Amino acid sequence: MNQKIDLPEEDDFRPSAARLVESLRDTGYTKEAAFADIIDNSIAANATKVEVELQYLMGEFRVIITDNGDGMSQQQLKSAMRYGSPRRTNPKSLGKFGMGLKTASTAFCRRLVVLTHQDGRNEGRAWDIDKIITSDRWELETPDSSLYCDDYDALTDFKEPNGTMIIWENIDRLVKMGSDKQMREEIKSLGKELSTELSAVFFKFLNSGDVTISMKVVDAPVFNLKGWDPLCSELNNSTKGVRSRVLREKTVPIEVANKILSFTVKGAIIPSQNELDFSERDYARYSLDNQGLYIYREGRLIWHDGWPHRMYKKESKITRLRVELNFSHELDDVFNIDFRKSRVIIPIEIRDELKRLISPWRQELLKDQVRLISASTNRVHGPADKAIDKHKKSTKNSDIKVEGDIVTIRNQNQMEPTVIEGIRVYDDRTVRVHEEESLIGGDLWEPSCDEEGNTCVTLGKSHPYFHKMYNVCKDNVEAMKALDMLLWSLSNAEHGEFSETNQHTLKGFRQKVSQTLRYLSIELPDAEED
């Protein structure tokens, strides 16, 4: 594989290995996508069992992903370690681009070791970025088996005749370095994030029983992931009569290379939070970010980031609407799948058809939300609206202008107008305190404004403090007004202190306060049922 080829210097246009190997680390992988890509390869190798271990021993952090798949011969292993390895024979394969194993791994580690066992024989190879840089050559290393005897034993003990183990060493981008205690906490946090994401990405595989994915994080016991269905169909088995209303699946035909193929679309309107208990709310994963489209390729979730570009914006009013799109490998080129399998580009004609199908579901939910907000928000927060508006000249500390979709702000810290990204703008100029089902990050409140540039506050109803505090105050109009004025004042202060340099600090402050109140709200009485 590393045979030296002598070429005249003027004809040798091979890229510098030292330069290229560092560049290939920056292909845009998220940590969740990188782990999913490795598991894709395991599933493509017919694995029925995959274990992800976040190992921390003697101050060294390693990632170990083991499967009971087909394993590899020496030649197969060399081929798999090649950047741009040969295309798999099965077009449905999740690991189909020949790049994921290498680029996903080295995006976060400087040394990738692959150990494999097939037909009673062990093989191992490694890419070491620092050694490649030193030699400026693609020198595939055969690791010393004596240094990996424990890993080979663990692979053998995986209770299957064949299998493969991926090891990330010299990890420099996955967690922040710190003390031993800090490292353990960082790794535990990483394990929680990964289990949440992987349970969604491989939901259909996990729920079918075709694949078991387990995790071991530091010293904690091994646990199996449970698939997470964004449509929350599992709630339909509840003995409490709670129902996630699954909307009828529709088949959409599409012509590709003179062939009529198709993909399917189905949706669900998940129950409102007050219909669910704590564990059910946790399962439903309520948040602004979890609304929208979930796109699956051959059963594997490849995209879920709200609504695709130029379809809809994320709106709290439609937080409960989730839509599932399923397509086969035959439509890979139509949806422009990249090698990270984390990006899709939906052609305009398909996007228009999706909007036509989804629009009735969306409009139904919007009508319900408009009715609920008009029936409750104005009545509950009306006294605060009037009190705040009465003193708006005295309390004004920023100049906000709304021009179409662009909102700019000036204040004592920001003398030149600067754009406020992602701020909510309300039509009603008489309302200062608004409610939304949930806010990004699960915050209790966030600053907003109306079309005239008046500061407003938006409250996140999903925050436990919202329910409990307003329940305590519900029979006391003055207490309710005082609470509204306090939260509005926090928003007004944030607008008064906002600048391009400190906006993230202000947001962090708000998130910390909301997080603290989430814990403290446990000490308040539960909201009574109406």
Amino acid at 509: F
Asked if residue 190 lies in contact with residue 173, where contact means CB atoms within 8 angstroms, the answer is: no
CA gap 369, 38 in Å, rounded = 42
Q: For 363-460, where are the E strands, in sequence order?
A: 399-403, 406-410, 418-419, 425-426, 433-436, 445-450, 455-460
What's the confidence (pLDDT) of residue 374? 45
CA gap 129, 138 in Å, rounded = 9
What's the confidence (pLDDT) of residue 47? 94
What's the confidence (pLDDT) of residue 91? 61
Number of H helices, E strands in the chain: 14, 19
Q: Give the sheet arrangement for strand 425-426, strand by strand.
A: 425-426, 445-450, 455-460, 433-436
Q: Which domains does the chain have, with CATH numbers?
A: 9-224 (3.30.565.10), 233-366 (3.30.230), 391-523 (no CATH)
What's the confidence (pLDDT) of residue 86? 64
What's the confidence (pLDDT) of residue 240? 61
Q: Within 10 Å of residue 171's Cβ, how many Cβ atoms?
A: 18
What's the confidence (pLDDT) of residue 489? 97
What's the confidence (pLDDT) of residue 10? 55
What's the confidence (pLDDT) of residue 242? 63
**If you compute the radius of gyration of the chain from its CA atoms, what whole number of angstroms results?**
27
Sort strands 212-217 and 223-224 into parallel, antiparallel or unpaired: antiparallel
Asked if residue 85 lies in contact with residue 98, where contact means CB atoms within 8 angstroms, the answer is: yes
Asked if residue 152 lies in contact with residue 122, where contact means CB atoms within 8 angstroms, the answer is: yes
What's the confidence (pLDDT) of residue 529? 39
Asked if residue 71 lies in contact with residue 116, where contact means CB atoms within 8 angstroms, the answer is: yes
Residue 206: helix, strand or coil by DSSP? Answer: helix
CA distance from start to end of the chain: 73
Residue 320: helix, strand or coil by DSSP? Answer: coil
What's the confidence (pLDDT) of residue 199? 97
What's the confidence (pLDDT) of residue 342? 60
Long-range contacts of 290-293 (CB under 8 A, 24+ apart): 290/230, 290/319, 290/322, 291/315, 291/318, 291/319, 291/320, 291/321, 291/322, 292/321, 292/322, 292/323, 293/323, 293/324, 293/325, 293/354
CA gap 371, 388 in Å, rounded = 25
CA gap 361, 36 in Å, rounded = 31
What's the confidence (pLDDT) of residue 282? 84
Residue matched to tokens 């009673």: 120
What's the confidence (pLDDT) of residue 528? 47
The CA-atom distances, in angstroms, between 411 and each of 401, 416, 433, 458, 525 are 12, 8, 22, 21, 40
DSSP state of 382: H
Backbone angles phi, psi at 47, to 5 degrees: -70, 140
List per-block mean pLDDT (blocks of 10 residues) for the chain, which spans 530 residues.
52 75 84 93 94 94 96 93 70 59 92 95 95 92 94 88 96 90 94 96 95 96 95 76 80 89 92 77 84 92 85 80 92 77 77 88 71 52 91 93 89 91 88 87 90 93 83 79 95 94 91 90 63
